[in-house]
Amino acid sequence: MPAAGRPPARPVPAEAVCGNGKESGAPAAAGAGWQPPGRPDERLAAMAHGHHDTAHRHGDHGPGPGNGQGHAHGHGHGADVDWAAMAPYLERGAELFAPLHAEAAAWLRRWQPEPELVVDAGSGPGVVTALLAEAFPRARTVAVDSSPYLLERARRRAERQGFADRLDTLEADLATGLDGLAYPADLIWASKAVHHVGDQRAALSVLAGRLAPGGVLALLEGGLPTRFLPRDFGLGRPGLQSRLDELEDRGFDRMRAELPGAVAEPEDWPALLAAAGLRHAATRTFLLDLPAPLPDAARAHVAATLAHRRDVLADGLDAEDLATVDRLLDPGDKESLHHRPDAFFLTAQTVYVGVRAEG
């Protein structure tokens, strides 16, 4: 039985994006597209901010060894990124995090058991998009990203997994709005995307404005620092991971300050959801716990992520810590992450749920 104030269930529409945005890899639908009864097409003014750093914000690259934000900040802007080289790393990381994200998607059914349109804002190559499509098999799903290459990867994944007929892709980012959506969404998933927009409050207002009455915004931000070795693992000074986290936090602060239109904002996500006109319905932290000894895929991802962090943070490490990191990354060293029996993977990610009022 449909929820009060909502239209009855409808067939999945053929198009979920319209000509106001760029649909990657397919012609845009004419006009504003199909809208269910009672759902006006709420056009949003584009945010007056420049393009943000897409290299940081793709939802599919789950945190490796790092801070609660999940990634080392300080690498190049989106235009400089070789997405063909980066995409396999993003996909492996997201696949590692699949149990966590699948658990989160199942939890969201509490508010949206049968959504008609699900949007993955900052989809990357579509690993989480596929999980959302699996969790909500009657919904049409839209992968939104600023990289056409990654959107093509998302389409290929949808073809392999059998939901290509329910997938649309939209080339856009949160800094310029989501006007390419043909009609409001029942569920928007935004994973580690909003903190890469200068004005986070405005970005959340944009997302909230794209929700249907009763629609849900699931915001994944923050969490706890990832750990992959004991505090003292027998090389160098104890506490290496905490020192890496401190450097990443500084890099995160610099990244935020350098964003176009940057506005300093306390990271009180429930309050920011409320400021966007949503009811903060719940907060929950999801755990990914892979104990030692790590399976090969997880071990390889941990090593690849530490190698990336070394590239970004090397200038801030002292000689002893840099030497320790290099030993951890050397496949020929029996003390490296490639061989250590004590390597594990433990992280936590927090999801905040905001709900738009009915009617």
pLDDT digits 0-9 by tens, 121-132: 999 999 999 999
pLDDT tens, position by position, 205-253: 999 999 999 999 999 999 999 999 999 999 999 999 999 999 999 999 9
Supply the range of the domain harboring residue 191. 78-289+349-355
Instruction: Give per-residue burial for 94-126: e unless 16+ CB within 10 Å, then b.
Output: bbbbeebbbbbbebbeebbeebbbbbbbbbbbb
**What are the two backbone dihedrals, phi and then psi, of residue 105, each rounded to the nearest 5 degrees?**
-60, -40
Query: What span, in angstroms and rounded, lies between the C-alpha atoms of 184 and 95?
Result: 29
Is the model's pLDDT at 9 over the cut of 70? no
Distance CA 124, CA 312 (A): 21
Confidence (pLDDT) at 59: 43
Q: Between vectors from CA 154 to CA 153 and to CA 156, what angle results, nearest 5°? A: 65
Rounded-to-integer distance, Cα 18 and Cα 34, Å: 9
What is the distance between the alpha carbons of residues 211 and 230, in angstroms, rounded to a whole number? 43
As a whole number, mean pLDDT of residues 170-193 equals: 89
**pLDDT tens digits, one per residue of 202-216:** 999 999 999 999 999
Return left, alpha or beta for 257; rule: phi > 0 is left, psi -120 to 50 is alpha, else beta.
alpha
The answer, yes or no, to whether residue 290 has pLDDT greater than 90, is yes
Split at pLDDT 50, 70, 90, the class of 60 is very low
Q: Alpha-carbon Rg of the chain, whole angstroms? A: 20
Confidence of residue 256 (pLDDT cuts 50, 70, 90): very high
pLDDT at 13: 52
Any domain includes 235: yes
Strands (E), the chain: 117-121, 140-145, 167-171, 185-191, 211-227, 279-290, 345-355
- In the chain, % of residues over pLDDT 90: 74
Is 175 within the bounds of a domain? Answer: yes
Q: If pLDDT is split at 50, 70 and 90, which confidence band does 171 have?
A: very high
Q: What are the φ and ψ backbone dihedral angles of 352, each rounded to 5 degrees?
A: -110, 135
Token duo for residue 350 = 């927090």
Does 302 have pLDDT greater than 70? Answer: yes
Q: What is the mean pLDDT of residues 183-199?
A: 95
Q: What does the pLDDT read at residue 81?
A: 82
- Which residues neighbour 213 within 8 Å (Cβ) at sequence distance 6 or greater? 5, 6, 38, 39, 356, 357, 358, 359
- Rounded to an integer, what distance in angstroms lies between the CA atom of residue 36 and that of residue 246? 49
Between CA 316 and CA 223 the distance in angstroms is: 24
For range 42-54, the mean pLDDT = 28
**Closest-CA residue to 73 (of 305, 255, 302):** 255
In a domain, 39, yes or no: no
The mean predicted confidence, pLDDT, of the chain is: 83
Average pLDDT over residues 14-31: 45
Residue found under tokens 């990867």 = 153
Q: From CA 243, how far away is CA 229, in angstroms rounded?
A: 13
Beta bridge partners of 118: 141, 187
In a domain, 84, yes or no: yes
Task: Compute the 3-state secondary structure of the chain and give helix, strand, coil in percent, each to the nearest 5.
Answer: 35, 20, 45
Largest CA distance in the chain: 65
Rounded-to-integer distance, Cα 13 and Cα 37, Å: 13
Mark 41-79 as b/e (b = at least 16 C-beta within 10 Å). eeebeebebeebbbbbbbbbbbbbbbbbbbbbbbbeebe
| Mean pLDDT along residues 104-124 | 97
Three-class SS string for 16-73?
Answer: CEECCCECCCCCCECCCCCCCCCCCCCCCCCCCCCCCCCCCCCCCCCCCCCCCCCCCC
Asked if residue 332 belongs to a domain, the reply is: no
Q: What is the mean pLDDT of residues 317-345?
A: 98
The confidence score (pLDDT) of residue 304 equals 96
Decide if 96 is inside a domain. yes
Q: Residue 15 has what pLDDT? A: 65
Residues 15-37 have a mean pLDDT of 41
**pLDDT > 70: percent of the chain:** 77
The mean-pLDDT minimum among 11-20, 260-269, 288-297, 305-314 falls in: 11-20
Q: Residue 77 and residue 89: Cα distance in Å, rounded? A: 17
Q: What is the CATH number of the domain that holds 135?
A: 3.40.50.150
Residue 106 located in a structural domain: yes
Q: Does residue 14 have a pLDDT over 80?
A: no
Instruction: Tell me how many domains the chain contains.
Output: 1
Please count the other Cβ atoms lying within 10 Å of the Cβ belonging to residue 227.
15
Residue 160 tokens, joined: 């392999």
Distance, CA of 199 to CA of 219 (rounded, Å): 16
- Asked if the structure places residue 126 within a domain, the reply is yes
Average pLDDT of span 189-203: 95
